[in-house]
Amino acid sequence: MKPVHHIKSLILAAVLLTALTPGAHSQADDYPSKPITVVVGYPPGGSTDLTGRVLAQELARKLGTTVVVENVGGAGGAIGAQKVIKAAPDGYTLLVGANNEIAINRLVSSAVKYSYKDFTPVGLIASQPMVLVASPKAGVKNTTEFIEQVKKHPGQYSYGSSGVGTALHLAAEMVKQQGGIFMTHIPYRGVAPLANDLLGNNIEYGVFVLSSGLAHIRSGKLLALGTTEKVRSKVTPDIPALAEHPALKSIDISSWFALMAPAGLPPKVQLKLQKALSESLQAPELRKKLEDAGSAIAPLNVDMPAFLASETAKYQRIVNFANIRE
């Protein structure tokens, strides 16, 4: 056994160390005391990157510190997400992510080991629907004609998305499931090559995030059959929601963006970030930029754990139907 005086010395040293070392509570009280990094899991230029940059500017104003956006592309956003998960849970490394890297990737890829439960959710930022489009080659004018055509010729028609297991892919598979139709999926490495093939009449149908397809729709080069949220988008009130068709009345899927932190974030820091996010989402400049890009600002005080669990369960049902796990 160790001598009593030695044990007393150890106890005294521990007490002194505790007194001299700032605790987690004081660090949380001082937050933020240095620049914050917002990770975006995609290259610059996409909808997630735009959302991240617009939010970062507003968070910097609300928190009174520098907020830097770092693009960490690869693996459908998973590399950036994993970087945040592995970061210290101190509020200085955050993720602005979409449903793909937060909730979907793990369901479709055995290589992705994390789940949304490995984050501390700060809050929902915005969402926008996806849109099912037809090329001139398809020769249809509306959703009814689309369903009738594809049902009459199962397997003859194809649709494209920006990749296997993306939200765009799952949205189209939801249409197939609920409409009782079969089309062949053609995955593309991004939206640009998909748009080129649709405009060139090399493929009949495709799914875009609304903001990515708007220019082609408004130019009349592609026909919008419908958006994927339950009701029409305020950005495009002239485009019907797919759910307006009786065969597709349960279609309700969107591309959403959320602010996430590593698991274990101190509650005080989480509350400060939630307050800053809430205030940012009410800022006119942020609202205009995101709404002009096709997004709807998220409602305040979303129950994030319940939201993420519900969304993940919905994606799991589609993944099971389409049998797309890799």
Per-residue pLDDT of the chain in tens (326 residues, 90 and over written 9): 444 455 445 444 444 444 444 454 556 789 999 999 999 998 888 889 999 999 999 999 999 999 999 999 888 899 999 999 999 999 999 999 999 999 999 999 999 999 999 999 999 999 999 999 999 999 999 999 999 999 999 989 999 998 888 999 999 999 999 999 999 999 988 788 999 999 999 999 999 999 889 899 999 999 999 999 999 998 899 999 999 999 999 999 999 999 999 999 999 999 999 999 999 999 999 999 999 888 999 998 899 999 999 999 999 999 999 998 77
Residue written as tokens 């001139």? 136
The pLDDT assigned to 292 comes to: 87
Residue ranges, CATH 3.40.190.10, the chain: 129-248
The pLDDT assigned to 4 comes to: 46
SS3 of the chain: CCCHHHHHHHHHHHHHHHHHCCCHHHHHHHCCCCCEEEEECCCCCCHHHHHHHHHHHHHHHHHCCCEEEEECCCHHHHHHHHHHHHCCCCCCEEEEEEHHHHHHHHHHCCCCCCCHHHEEEEEEEEEEEEEEEECHHHCCCCHHHHHHHHHHCCCCCEEEECCCCCHHHHHHHHHHHHHCCCCEEEECCCHHHHHHHHHCCCCCEEEEEHHHHHHHHHCCCCEEEEECCCCCCCCCCCCCEHHHCHHHCCCCCEEEEEEEEECCCCHHHHHHHHHHHHHHHCCHHHHHHHHHCCCEECCCCCCHHHHHHHHHHHHHHHHHHHCCCC
- What token pair was written down for 64? 């009174």
Is 0.75 topped by the overall pTM?
A: yes
> Is it true that domain 129-248 has CATH number 3.40.190.10?
yes
The pLDDT assigned to 26 comes to: 59
Residue ranges, CATH 3.40.190.150, the chain: 23-123+258-322
CA distance 313 to 316: 5
Point out which residues pair with 13 in neighbouring strands: none
- What token pair was written down for 294? 């096709």
Angle at 109 between CA 192 and CA 134, to 5 degrees: 35
**Bond from prior residue into 32 cis (ω within 30 degrees of 0):** yes
CA distance 167 to 61: 32
CA distance 192 to 41: 18
* CATH number of this structure's domain 23-123+258-322, picked from the four choices 3.40.190.150, 3.40.50.280, 3.40.50.620, 3.40.50.720: 3.40.190.150
- What token pair was written down for 162? 């920006």
Residue written as tokens 């949205």? 171
- What token pair was written down for 272? 């400060």
Question: Residue 291, exposed/middle/buried by CB under 10 A (0-12, 13-18, 19+)?
Answer: middle
